[in-house]
Structure 1
């Protein structure tokens, strides 16, 4: 699941999140860890312009700081940046941050990356917004080199070049998994050709099979035989009957009913699902997390 509180876009934030902070975030992370969730995710925005603030809000926690905080209070759950706009930073800076996070967490990092969409962020940081796609492509390649096991990584590209510069600590993992986010044709192609995983951004169920087919075709055409982790973001969920207006698109009901609906994702070729629960308080959310782990998850996989 993507964590609440750390990003508060009006598209998905619940009203109670506005008054929540580190204590509630920790409580939710521990609940997900106990319930056997695969990963917790955190978003990335540096600064939100006034023209977008009403819809997006300006609440966006830094993903490295947030995931590092969570690494210290959880034991098993993986830590995913969904997604880091790594094109905003030099790849050696990102490599230093995320290698340290993987090291401190005992090898629990999944690095999710995306192109970004807020032009003002790029402008203020001196990055060409119009070239964000090519910049991300090269940044991914540079990060693969910089997040490997070599203390002195080497990379020579059009925009970035480094050698003879050592970075420790190294990641615990031999190679940090790199998942690409986005559902545009460019993002799907990037995931197919450069990713270890694909994180679609809200594709409805009826679009996913065609997107997955395109992803697989691109990999086959490129001669890539390595497996790729395909994800999906589900509809909002509520385990049981909410007794309140949880939203027209929310999937509600008994655990076996929810599980049957969610198994349709696996039938499409999806390997992992990212879930979000409707809730009116932190306590209701942690109760939902526990119920999902105990009553719905056993019907999956």
Structure 2
């Protein structure tokens, strides 16, 4: 297993991270504030992003996950963390020390592959070897014509980009030419979904799987498939969490996650770990509580149970 992925899952085979943006703009209070500030739904308030990213790093969360959303589409209603992925990763690398920095996931067919490779190598070096490169083929057809790309050919473009990144483009470079910075160990790549590929191809060519959020039963089926094609390579997923202030509040499931107290969350995470999930990124945009307070409670009472 890639050394970076061993660091992700840790000595106990399971860890917890956070998905950006660290804002609760999908909560009832967050929606009211967005309306007052004339922010359309899905555009977060990122005024405290640096403070909260530093808190995540200092509190012991294992990874920060960043989505790649080039254009805000009101029909889709999600601008992710607003900032361009690699630019923001460079900033986060400069204000954090230990936390892994993951993409979930870079849309490879929309990007020039050589520049993607150079950006990934740059972030990895500047961060001291903390990049986890999640990649995907993209699922928003409206973006492709704007980028001059063929939506129907995104699967082939994805494979070509993966090959270039995996080999560092060495076979294609003319004699004497180099792509800098060079990395001794290539950045690990995790795939979101199947990215228009067969499960067998994904299992062979990717270092880990970023699975969509789901219930334990849904993960049981996906993990079974992943283990068949990929062996013990890491299986990563996410939970949309609204952490109740009452520790004993039961789990009430919603799409992609649920509302519960920390004891029910610990029980859910333990169930996922037993199934074979190796990392969970917590998404806090539904949180009715202040995000920093939720992170502090998780750091004090939940992370020690798993890290």
TM-score by structure 2 length?
A: 0.78
CA spacing shift, 1:215–1:58, aligned 2, 3 Å: closer
Q: Distance between the aligned counterparts of 2:77 and 2:200, measured in 1?
A: 27
Superposed, 1:123-162 pairs within 5 Å as 123-146=145-168, 153-155=169-171, 161-162=172-173
Superposed, 1:50-61 pairs within 5 Å as 52-58=73-79, 60-61=82-83
Structure 2 distance, partners of 1:129, 1:203, is 27
Equivalent-residue separation in structure 2 for 1:168 and 1:275 (angstroms): 34
Report 1 or 2 for greater relative contact order, CA contacts < 8 Å, sequence distance ≥ 6: 2
CA distance in 2, matches of 1:234, 1:118: 22
1:265 aligned to which of 272, 279, 292: 272
Gaps of 5+ in 2: 1-17, 35-42
Is residue 2:131 matched to residue 1:109? yes
- Looking at structure 2, the residues matched to 90 and 259 of structure 1 have their Cα atoms a distance apart, in angstroms, of 42
Q: Distance in 1 between matches of 2:114 and 2:283?
A: 33
Q: Distance in 1 between matches of 2:203 and 2:19?
A: 23
What residue is the counterpart of 2:236 in the other structure?
Answer: 231
Query: 1:238 and 1:188, CA in 2 relative to 1: closer, same or farther beyond 3 A?
Result: farther
The residue aligned with 2:189 is 178
- 1:210 is matched with 221
Is 1:71 the counterpart of 2:83? The answer is no
* Residues 14 and 218 of structure 1: CA distance in aligned 2, closer, same or farther (over 3 Å): farther
- Hey, what's the Cα distance between the residues in 2 that align with 1:61 and 1:136? 23
Cα distance, 1:188 vs. partner? 4.6
Aligned CA distance change for structure 1 residues 293 and 190 (closer, same or farther; 3 Å): farther
Give CA deviations for 1:39-94 in whole Å, capped at 9, x if unaligned: 1111112224xxx4143245632110111111111110011111000121222110
Name the counterpart of 1:158: none
Cα distance in 1 between the residues matched to 2:27 and 2:164: 33
Residue 297 of structure 1 and its aligned partner are, at CA, apart by: 1.4
Distance in 2 between residues matched to 1:81 and 1:30, nearest whole Å: 18
CA 1:264–1:5 in 2, change beyond 3 Å: closer, same or farther? closer
Distance in 1, matches of 2:139 and 2:158, equals 12
**Distance verdict in 2 for CA 1:216–1:248, change over 3 Å:** closer
CA distance in 2, matches of 1:184, 1:104: 28
Which residue does the alignment assign to 2:38? none
Unmatched runs of 5 consecutive residues or more in structure 1: 147-152, 156-160, 221-226
Point out 4+ residue stretches in structure 1 off by more than 4 angstroms: 5-8, 10-14, 16-19, 187-190
Over aligned residues, Cα RMSD in angstroms?
3.1
Deviations 1:197-248 (A, max 9, x none): 100122332211111111221236xxxxxx4111121242415329x9x975
Deviation of 1:293 after TM superposition, in Å, equals: 1.3
Give the whole-Å Cα distance in 1 for the aligned partners of 2:23 and 2:49: 8
